[in-house]
Chains A and B, each alone.
Chain A
Amino acid sequence: MNNTADLIMIFLVLTNLMLLGLSRMGACIRIVALQGVVLSFLPLILNQWNFEMHLVLFSIVIISLKGGVFPWMLNRTLRELSIQREIEPFIGYGISIIAGTIAFLTCMWLSHRLPFPQPLMSPLIVPVAFFTIMSGLFLIISRKKALTQVLGYLVLENGIYAFGVALVKQQPMLVEIGVLLDIFVAVFVMGIAIFHINREFDHIDTDQLSRLRS
Chain B
Amino acid sequence: MIILKLANPVLAIVIAPFLLGVINRTKAVFAGRRGQPLFQTYYDIFKLFRKGAVYSRTTSWIFRTGPLLGFAVTLTASLLMPFGGLPAAISFNGDLILFIYLFGLMRFFTVISAMDTGSSFEGMGASREVTFSALSEPALLIGLAAIAKCTGFISLNQMFSTVVPGLWISSGAVLILTAFALLIVFLAENCRIPVDDPNTHLELTMIHEVMVLDHSGPDFGFILYSAVLKMWLLGQVIIGITVPIHTHNIWIDTSSAMAAMLILAVLVGIIESSMARLRLLHVPQLLIGATTLSVLALVLR
Contacts and interface: CB of A to CB of B under 8 A. Distances in A.
Contact of B173 (A1, A17, A105): A1
B299 A108 contact: yes
A98 interface: yes
Given A21-B285, A108-B299, A124-B300, A101 B173 contact: no
Interface string B58-97: 0000000000000000000000000000000000000000
Nearest to A98: B288
A94 B284 contact: yes
A97 B284 CA distance: 11
Nearest to A100: B292
Contacts of B182: none
Central interface residue in B170, B173, B284, by most chain A CB within 10 Å: B173
Contact of A1 (B174, B291, B295, B299): B174
Contacts of A98: 288, 292
Interface string B273-301: 00000000000110011011001100110
A60 interface: no
Given A1-B174, A10-B173, A17 B292 contact: yes
A14 B181 CA distance: 13
A96 to B, nearest CB: 9
B202 interface: no
Contact of B170 (A1, A13, A17): A1
A6 interface: yes
Interface string B164-194: 0000011111100100000000000000000
A13 B296 contact: yes
B292 A10 contact: no
A97 B292 contact: yes
B295 A101 contact: yes
Interface string A93-130: 11001101100110010000000000000001000000
B299 A97 contact: no
Contacts of A1: 170-174, 300
Given A13-B296, A101-B295, A104-B299, A6 B173 contact: yes
Nearest to A18: B289
Interface residues of A, number: 19
B173 A21 contact: no
Contacts, number: 43
A97 B288 contact: yes
A2 interface: yes
Contacts of A7: 173
A100 B293 CA distance: 12
Nearest to B135: A94
Interface in B125-183: 169-174, 177
A108 B172 CA distance: 20
Contacts of B285: 21, 93-94, 97
A104 B297 CA distance: 12
Contacts of A97: 285, 288-289, 292
A94 B288 CA distance: 7
B289 A21 contact: yes
Contacts of B284: 94
A10 B291 CA distance: 16
Contacts of A21: 285, 288-289
A2 B170 contact: yes
Contacts of B173: 1, 6-7, 10
B176 to A, nearest CB: 9
Interface in B103-118: none
Central interface residue in B170, B172, B296, by most chain A CB within 10 Å: B296
Given A17-B289, A105-B299, A124-B300, 20 more contacts: A1-B170, A1-B171, A1-B300, A2-B169, A2-B170, A2-B172, A6-B173, A10-B173, A21-B289, A94-B284, A94-B285, A97-B285, A97-B288, A98-B288, A98-B292, A101-B292, A101-B296, A104-B296, A105-B295, A108-B299
16 contacts: A1-B171, A1-B174, A2-B169, A2-B172, A7-B173, A10-B177, A14-B296, A17-B292, A94-B285, A94-B288, A98-B288, A98-B292, A100-B292, A101-B291, A101-B295, A101-B296
Q: Which 5 A-B pairs have the closest CB atoms?
A: A101-B292, A97-B288, A94-B288, A94-B284, A1-B173
